[in-house]
């Protein structure tokens, strides 16, 4: 009785891949993947501008064009309002 008996009615489980197991990516998904890769490879070109502005602010030399800011705010509001 020291031997374990095997039930011959239940075959052992095998790791099998059926020919139907596959993944299909939509063309939109593939395009999004390409865009993500392109963005990841793009250097941050604004870093230099941010650093320059940061130095201007720290030294007190940064001047805000309040008329320009107000004009852009109004244009953006009108654009969003007319959507």
Q: Whole-structure pTM over 0.75, yes or no?
A: no
Q: With respect to residue 1, please indicate whether it lies within any of the assigned structural domains.
A: no
| Residue span of the structural domain in which 69 resides | 27-81
Q: With respect to residue 76, please indicate whether it lies within any of the assigned structural domains.
A: yes
Residue 7: what pLDDT? 56
Q: With respect to residue 33, please indicate whether it lies within any of the assigned structural domains.
A: yes
> How far is it, in rounded angstroms, from Cα 65 to Cα 71?
10
Q: With respect to residue 20, please indicate whether it lies within any of the assigned structural domains.
A: no
Residue 40: what pLDDT? 87
For 28-47, letters b (16+ CB in 10 Å) and e give eeeeeeeeeeeeeeeeeeee
53's CB contacts (< 8 A; 6+ apart) are: 62
How many domains are contained in the chain?
A: 1
- pLDDT by residue (tens digit) across 44-70? 778 889 999 999 999 999 999 999 999
């Amino acid at each position: 009785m020291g031997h374990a008996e095997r039930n011959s009615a239940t075959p052992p489980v095998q790791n099998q891949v059926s020919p139907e197991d596959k993944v299909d990516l939509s063309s939109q998904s593939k395009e999004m993947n390409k865009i993500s890769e392109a963005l990841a490879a793009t250097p941050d070109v604004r870093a230099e501008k941010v650093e320059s502005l940061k130095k201007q602010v720290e030294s007190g030399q940064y001047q805000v064009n309040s008329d320009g800011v107000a004009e852009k705010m109004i244009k953006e509001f009108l654009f969003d309002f007319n959507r």
